Copies of this chain bind each other. A is one copy, B any other.
């Protein structure tokens, strides 16, 4: 029923091997022969059988991109950058070759699904795997993921961590095929809080992300470091509330924090989306931003500049990190020294923060 490489070979009056060679473009073939084959391919409307090809070659052109939440632009931006960087790299290839199938897999933040997707990708003998965003902050899961990634690496799959802390114990052989691009969440958070401190704020609330995420912890640690240095370490626990990375969490946390401490003059959110919820809560309580309460976010997602007032935040090089991860995944770029590169965040001061009242 379906047309195979052998059919093409017959039509072009060459051997199957030759057809394979022109299709993959990785071997010298006479121009005349190539054209004959190409014509046959067109006429027969032939499409390579991926599984067969992957089986024979023991590799595939699948590249998996794991994200925690595909509906969150944070991940969308990174994933998009990874894909387009990969597209540019393989674009110049032959007819059927070179093209990588970049696919994004949505784990929904679930450790099980993360592992499941990794297994599925392993099963497909993926060429590369890119894990994006914060990891689940649990030793057991971390070890499981590390083990899985080590196996993938051994099997020849390139592994790239993008916007995620380095693996717990990646000292061994995994180090070779594993590159890590991590964000300086802690440093960014510290500078952000220092900015607020510099504006005279002394009573700051912090709306943290879900407890079990590394991103949450690192940003929180940066905040606490700044607070502690300023001699404000006492009330930290009371003025911190955890919740998911969504606007609703920001809304509710802001209400709760104001209940605990009506005298707050600044609220720092774990990310921009949460900050949006914080702003909404403040407005609903009749508080002005930043006159009554300053608000800050993190990530500098595209909508942050359109918030009213525009959000002070920490800009992460999402696009740059994704693009680099894409190049790392295709082997178009050499891994950073030591397999680890840290990308800093830049404080972006806008209208949502002002002097303490």
Interface residues of A in 301-334 (CB under 8 A from B): 302-303, 305-308
- A24 interface contact, C-beta 8 A: no
A104-B101 contact, Cβ under 8 Å, with A55-B51, A125-B49 = no
- A108 interface contact, C-beta 8 A: yes
- A234 interface contact, C-beta 8 A: no
Q: How far is the CA of A225 from the CA of B26 in the complex (A)?
A: 56
A76 and B72 contact, CB distance less than 8 A: yes
B49 and A123 contact, CB distance less than 8 A: yes
A80-B87 contact, Cβ under 8 Å, with A51-B50, A120-B101, A303-B276 = no
A70 and B83 contact, CB distance less than 8 A: yes
B residues within 8 A CB of A228? Answer: none
Partner of A247, one of B50, B54, B123, B306: B306
B45 and A55 contact, CB distance less than 8 A: no
A83 and B71 contact, CB distance less than 8 A: no
B77 and A71 contact, CB distance less than 8 A: yes
How many whole Å from A133's CB to the nearest CB in chain B?
A: 14
B80 and A108 contact, CB distance less than 8 A: yes
B residues within 8 A CB of A77? Answer: 71
In the complex formed, the residue of B with least CB distance to A104 is B104
- A232 interface contact, C-beta 8 A: no
A50 and B125 contact, CB distance less than 8 A: yes
Q: How far is the CA of A119 from the CA of B50 in the complex (A)?
A: 10
A71 and B80 contact, CB distance less than 8 A: yes
A83-B106 contact, Cβ under 8 Å, with A125-B49, A276-B303, A306-B247 = yes
How many whole Å from A276's CB to the nearest CB in chain B?
A: 5
In the complex formed, the residue of B with least CB distance to A251 is B306
Q: How far is the CA of A119 from the CA of B116 in the complex (A)?
A: 26
- A263 interface contact, C-beta 8 A: no
How many whole Å from A73's CB to the nearest CB in chain B?
A: 6
A 67-96 to B, binary, CB cutoff 8 A, 1 in contact else 0: 001111101110110011001000000001
B residues within 8 A CB of A355? Answer: none
How many whole Å from A215's CB to the nearest CB in chain B?
A: 18
Pull 22 A–B residue pairs with CB atoms less than 8 Å apart, ordered by A: A50-B51, A50-B124, A51-B51, A51-B60, A69-B80, A70-B70, A70-B104, A71-B79, A72-B73, A72-B76, A73-B73, A83-B105, A96-B123, A99-B120, A101-B105, A101-B117, A102-B105, A276-B303, A280-B305, A280-B306, A306-B307, A307-B308
